Chain A
Amino acid sequence: MEKGTLIEELRSLIIKSLKLEGIMPADIDPAAPLFGSGLGLDSIDALELVVGLEKTYGIRIPDEDVGKEAFASVDALADYILKNIK
């Protein structure tokens, strides 16, 4: 999968699975941190995102040590998925 396509998918998946209202995919800066600022997501939102990503891409985010790396930004998340996708 091409990274650009994946980033587009991820932007939509984040909006859909976290039910973010009034935010368009293009509003999510791929380089910006996913949690704590910007989108105003909190760590509890991450639980649903983890489950959604695991289901969609067949990857495994077993704990927060991995999660911190993967959720640094949409860009980092795309890298993580490409590296671990089955």
Chain B
Amino acid sequence: MSVPVALVTGGTKGIGKEIARSFSKKGMRVYVNFSSDRDAAAAARQELPAETVQADVSDQEQVSAMIDAIVQKEGRLDILVNNAGIIRDGLLMLMPAKNWHRVMEVNLNSVFFCSKAALRPMVGNRWGRIINIISPSALMGRAGQTNYAAAKGGVLSLTRSLAREVARYNITVNAVSPGVIETELTRDMGEKIRREFISMIPAGRFGTPEEVARAVSFLASDEAGYITGEYLSVDGGLT
């Protein structure tokens, strides 16, 4: 098989960046998508190494153009990691509708657009891996995250259904659910909140982006070819 080509959305920071790094280490051709942070993209391009591609994943035209360009250049796209996501936390009763819609667009619609475009080259090659990053919020619920939980729950249901559509073509579709992971976000959360979070995690610590990347890497490999429509929690026992 030729060198696999992978695309990681929202891949210039945090968990996405670590996933891209693990693919790069395995010798894959890696593309990382970003929406606006050019400095982070430039850093990732150097550090991983990887190609960077700018697109708003909630915009179908931009997604099609991005994926067509990759396929044009590489002749293939083997692995798609739908990692891009945003949060707009707030209690439902007081949630502005725009915060509901934006979270749906970026976390759920994007998975539809990216998967739709990526499936053509995968069906053509009769091999593919789609891995969707979800969240404990989708599995157990979380106050203040009705929008995010609904979007991620939607992604999980999409994962299970799409898996059944494309299994015949050697394409697997799975989800990974990272728990509380050490990233910029959690580093800045303050000692009290940190301790509160840790008290909920049976493993007694946060996870690392590397630990999430290893699970994604496994699902992207040939070894996981008979696993599809599943989710894998990497959360220290949280859910």
Contact = CB atoms under 8 A, between A and B. Distances in A.
Interface of A: 44, 47-48, 50-52, 54-55
A55 B168 contact: no
A51 B124 contact: yes
Contacts of B166: 44, 47
A58 B19 CA distance: 34
B165 A55 contact: no
Nearest to B126: A48
Interface string B78-120: 0000000000000000000000000000000000000000011
B76 to A, nearest CB: 12
Contacts of B169: 47-48
Nearest to A52: B124
Contacts, number: 19
Interface string B9-39: 0000000000000000000000000000000
A55 B166 CA distance: 19
Nearest to B125: A51
A54 B165 contact: no
B100 to A, nearest CB: 26
B158 interface: no
Highest count of chain B CB atoms <10 Å: which of A51, A52, A55: A51
Contact of B119 (A47, A52, A55): A47
19 contacts: A44-B165, A44-B166, A44-B168, A47-B119, A47-B123, A47-B165, A47-B166, A47-B169, A48-B123, A48-B124, A48-B169, A50-B120, A50-B123, A51-B120, A51-B123, A51-B124, A52-B124, A54-B120, A55-B124
B150 to A, nearest CB: 25
A48 B124 CA distance: 7
B85 to A, nearest CB: 26
Interface string B166-206: 10110000000000000000000000000000000000000
Contacts of B120: 50-51, 54
A32 to B, nearest CB: 23
Nearest to A61: B120
Given A44-B166, A48-B123, A51-B124, 10 more contacts: A44-B165, A44-B168, A47-B123, A48-B124, A50-B123, A51-B120, A51-B123, A52-B124, A54-B120, A55-B124
